[in-house]
Amino acid sequence: MSLIVQKYGGSSVQSAERIKRVAERIVAARKAGNDVVVVVSAMGDTTDELLTLAQAVAPVPPARELDMLLTSGERISNALVAMAISALGAQARSFTGSQAGVITTSAHGKARIIDVTPGRIQAALDDGAIALVAGFQGVSQDTKDITTLGRGGSDTTAVALAAALDADVCEIYTDVDGVFTADPRIVPDAQQLNTISYEEMLEMAASGAKVLMLRCVEYARRYEVPVHVRSSYSDQAGTLVTGTIADQSAKEIAVEQALITGVAHDRSEAKVTVTNVPDHPGVAAKVFRTIADAEIDIDMIVQNISAGMDGRTDITFTLPKADGPRAVSALEARKSEIEFDQVIYNDHVGKVSLIGAGMRSHPGVTATFCEALATADVNIDIISTSEIRISVLVRDTELDNAVRALHTAFDLGGDTEAVVYAGSGI
Amino acid sequence: MSLIVQKYGGSSVQSAERIKRVAERIVAARKAGNDVVVVVSAMGDTTDELLTLAQAVAPVPPARELDMLLTSGERISNALVAMAISALGAQARSFTGSQAGVITTSAHGKARIIDVTPGRIQAALDDGAIALVAGFQGVSQDTKDITTLGRGGSDTTAVALAAALDADVCEIYTDVDGVFTADPRIVPDAQQLNTISYEEMLEMAASGAKVLMLRCVEYARRYEVPVHVRSSYSDQAGTLVTGTIADQSAKEIAVEQALITGVAHDRSEAKVTVTNVPDHPGVAAKVFRTIADAEIDIDMIVQNISAGMDGRTDITFTLPKADGPRAVSALEARKSEIEFDQVIYNDHVGKVSLIGAGMRSHPGVTATFCEALATADVNIDIISTSEIRISVLVRDTELDNAVRALHTAFDLGGDTEAVVYAGSGI
Contacts of A83 in chain B (CB under 8 A): 54, 57-58, 61-62, 65-66, 69
Same domain? B34 vs B115: yes
Q: pLDDT tens-digit profile of B311-348?
A: 888 999 999 999 999 999 999 999 999 999 999 999 99
- The CATH number that applies at residue B158 is 3.40.1160.10
Residue A351 host element (H or E): strand A349-355
In a domain, A19, yes or no: yes
Of A50, A66, A84, the CB nearest to B57: A84
Same domain? A205 vs A94: yes
In a domain, B68, yes or no: yes
In a domain, B416, yes or no: no
Do the Cβ atoms of A83 and B75 come within 8 Å?
Answer: no
Q: pLDDT tens-digit profile of A364-391?
A: 888 999 999 999 999 999 999 888 999 9
Same domain? B100 vs B229: yes
pLDDT confidence of residue A32: 96
Contacts of B81 in chain A (CB under 8 A): 57
In a domain, B419, yes or no: no
- A56 interfacial to chain B (CB closer than 8 Å): yes
- B227 interfacial to chain A (CB closer than 8 Å): no
In a domain, B420, yes or no: no
Do the Cβ atoms of B76 and A80 come within 8 Å?
Answer: no
- Helix A63-87 and helix B63-87, axial crossing angle in degrees, nearest 10: 160
pLDDT confidence of residue B175: 85
Work out how many domains chain A is built from and give that number: 3
- B82 interfacial to chain A (CB closer than 8 Å): yes
Domain residues for the domain of B305 are 274-341
Same domain? A129 vs A165: yes
Residue A244 host element (H or E): none
pLDDT confidence of residue B255: 45
pLDDT confidence of residue B250: 44
CB hemisphere CA count around A14 (13 angstroms): 12
- B68 interfacial to chain A (CB closer than 8 Å): yes
* Contact of B168 with B2, CB cutoff 8 Å: yes
Same domain? B16 vs B104: yes
Note the ipTM here: 0.83
Q: Which of residues 131-170 of A touch B (CB under 8 A)?
A: 144
**Residue A86 neighbours by CB under 8 Å, 6+ apart:** A92, B58, B61, B62, B65
The annotated binding site of B for substrate is made up of 47, 74
- A68 interfacial to chain B (CB closer than 8 Å): yes
- B42 interfacial to chain A (CB closer than 8 Å): no
Same domain? B337 vs B372: no
Its sign, for the CA torsion A52, A54, A59, A60, is negative
Q: How far is A421 from chain B (nearest CA, A)?
A: 26
| Positions of chain A with pLDDT under 70 | 248-258, 305-309, 415-426
Same domain? A244 vs A334: no
Going by C-alpha positions, the residue among A265, A290, A261 that lies closest to residue A373 is A265
Same domain? A142 vs A213: yes
In a domain, A425, yes or no: no
The annotated binding site of B is made up of 7-10, 47, 74, 174-175, 185, 210-211
In a domain, A423, yes or no: no
In a domain, A161, yes or no: yes
What are the two backbone dihedrals, phi and then psi, of residue A150, each rounded to the nearest 5 degrees? 80, -175
Encode chain B (426 residues) as per-residue pLDDT tens digits.
799 999 999 999 999 999 999 999 999 999 999 999 999 999 999 999 999 999 999 999 999 999 999 999 999 999 999 999 999 999 999 999 999 999 999 999 999 999 999 999 999 999 999 999 999 999 999 999 999 998 889 999 999 999 999 999 999 999 899 999 999 999 999 999 999 999 999 999 999 988 898 899 999 999 999 999 999 888 999 999 999 887 765 444 444 456 799 999 999 999 999 999 988 888 889 999 999 999 899 999 988 766 666 788 899 999 999 999 999 999 999 999 999 999 999 999 999 999 998 887 777 888 999 999 999 999 999 999 888 999 999 999 999 999 999 999 999 997 655 555 444 443
- Nearest chain B residue to A146, by CA: B95
- Nearest chain B residue to A77, by CA: B69
The annotated binding site of B for ATP is made up of 7-10, 174-175, 185, 210-211
Same domain? B37 vs B118: yes
Same domain? A223 vs A370: no
- The CATH number that applies at residue A373 is 3.30.70.260
